[in-house]
């Protein structure tokens, strides 16, 4: 049988990033945390934590962290059903970690309100990891999170998934930027010279839109700005052009502060909600909140085009 005190220590070290901070959260000494994890590693026959700054889980460690997160959610469900068990906790409302992954544009628009409304009343401590929508499913597959907003249609093994709808993007820049870089039109040559905006090296939205317009890939000069809000600020300042979530720039497009590079050429990205197949009422409640938020904010999913 697994030692759940040791598993809790492992999850705390990975979540907090160090043995010292994990000890503070667990109200024990760093030495006690170290001894619990060392004993668990000896029992499992493999390393579970990479002792670095910050500490991170090995593949085996991630699987165990996912397991202990699922168990914590199910125990929280029991507290709601069994008053005697709830009375054994400090306040009857112990909060449990709930790690999720989401793309930055969803977090900056529709996802944050849905998550906040859920977490305001649920006995959880939400831990949000931000990554490109093409890569958030990997967080779920490796057990680093229990749920994710992703562009991957097929959920990983042991997970369920539901379509959320499509997020619409607009390729936009300021009128001055357009006059400077696209005076002769938005063509392959101009796009190869004009600075673009990308979230990070994983961000393929700009390249995808260009490939659709030009019928071939083009190497784009790019500024990297890992923030949805910074994208808008940079575009308004004339730093570059980029694919913006429609809702974040709708007012600027209406006012003329931003204009589309090519009118009426949106890029729709289908999104999906995937979550661990755990019998947890808390996870089901989060799923309901996310699906409701998506129905209000996202467009009906259409077949993807390349």
- In a 10 Å sphere around its CB, with 0-12 CB exposed, 13-18 middle and 19+ buried, how is residue 104 labelled? buried
Query: Would you state the pLDDT for residue 92?
Result: 45
Q: How confident is the model at residue 279 (pLDDT cuts 50, 70, 90)?
A: low
Whole-number Å distance between alpha carbons of 85 and 79: 6
Query: Would you state the pLDDT for residue 75?
Result: 74
Whole-number Å distance between alpha carbons of 264 and 49: 50
Residues 6 or more apart whose CB falls under 8 angstroms from that of 296 comprise: 110
Query: Would you state the pLDDT for residue 72?
Result: 77
Whole-number Å distance between alpha carbons of 129 and 141: 14
Query: Would you state the pLDDT for residue 302?
Result: 57
User: Does the pLDDT at position 306 exceed 70?
Assistant: no
Place of tokens 């890569």: 135
Helices and strands (H, E) in the chain, number of each type = 14, 11
Place of tokens 């070290």: 13
Ranking 122-126, 143-147, 294-298 by mean pLDDT, the lowest is 143-147
Q: Is residue 227 within 8 Å of 104, Cβ to Cβ? A: yes
C-alpha closest to that of 227 among 89, 113, 105: 105
φ/ψ of 283, rounded to 5, equals -70, -35
C-alpha closest to that of 173 among 247, 255, 259, 249: 259
b/e code 222-256 from CB counts within 10 Å (16+ = b): beebeebeebbebbbebbbbbbbbbebbeebeeee
Q: In degrees, to the nearest 5, what angle opens at C-alpha 145 toward C-alphas 143 and 149? A: 120
Q: Is residue 197 within 8 Å of 206, Cβ to Cβ? A: yes
C-alpha closest to that of 2 among 65, 92, 90, 49: 65
For the chain, which domains are there? 167-268 (3.40.190.10)
Digit-coded pLDDT (tens) for 128-143: 999 999 999 988 887 7
Percent of the chain exceeding pLDDT 70 equals 92
Q: How confident is the model at residue 173 (pLDDT cuts 50, 70, 90)?
A: very high
Q: Which of 72-76, 141-145, 179-183, 278-282 has the highest mean pLDDT?
A: 179-183
How much is the average pLDDT of 29-40? 92
Query: Would you state the pLDDT for residue 90?
Result: 47
Rounded to two decimals, the pTM is 0.78
């Amino acid at each position: 049988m697994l030692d759940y005190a040791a598993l809790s220590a492992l999850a705390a070290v990975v979540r907090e990033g160090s043995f010292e901070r994990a000890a503070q959260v667990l109200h024990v000494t760093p030495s006690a945390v170290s001894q619990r994890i060392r004993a668990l590693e000896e029992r499992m026959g493999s390393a579970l934590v990479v002792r670095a700054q910050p500490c991170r889980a090995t593949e085996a460690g991630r699987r165990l962290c996912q397991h202990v997160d699922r168990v914590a959610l199910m125990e929280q469900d029991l507290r709601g059903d069994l008053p005697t068990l709830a009375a054994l906790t400090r306040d009857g409302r112990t909060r449990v970690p709930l790690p999720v992954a989401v793309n930055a544009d969803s977090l900056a628009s529709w996802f944050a309100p849905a998550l906040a409304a859920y977490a305001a009343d649920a006995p959880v401590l939400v831990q949000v990891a931000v990554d490109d929508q093409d890569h958030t499913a990997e967080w779920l597959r490796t057990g680093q999170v229990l749920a994710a907003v992703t562009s991957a249609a097929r959920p990983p093994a042991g997970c369920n998934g539901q379509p959320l709808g499509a997020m619409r993007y607009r390729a936009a820049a300021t009128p001055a930027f357009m006059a400077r870089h696209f005076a002769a039109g938005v063509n392959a040559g101009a796009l190869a010279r004009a600075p673009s905006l990308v979230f990070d090296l994983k961000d393929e939205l700009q390249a995808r839109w260009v490939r659709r317009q030009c019928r071939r890939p083009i190497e784009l000069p790019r500024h990297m700005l890992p923030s949805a809000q910074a994208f808008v600020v940079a575009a308004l300042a004339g730093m570059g052009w980029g694919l913006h979530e429609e809702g974040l720039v709708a007012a600027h497009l209406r006012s003329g502060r931003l204009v589309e590079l090519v009118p009426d050429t949106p890029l729709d990205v289908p999104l999906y909600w995937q979550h661990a197949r755990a019998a947890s009422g808390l996870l089901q409640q989060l799923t309901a909140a996310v699906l409701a938020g998506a129905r209000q904010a996202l467009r009906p999913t259409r077949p993807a085009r390349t």
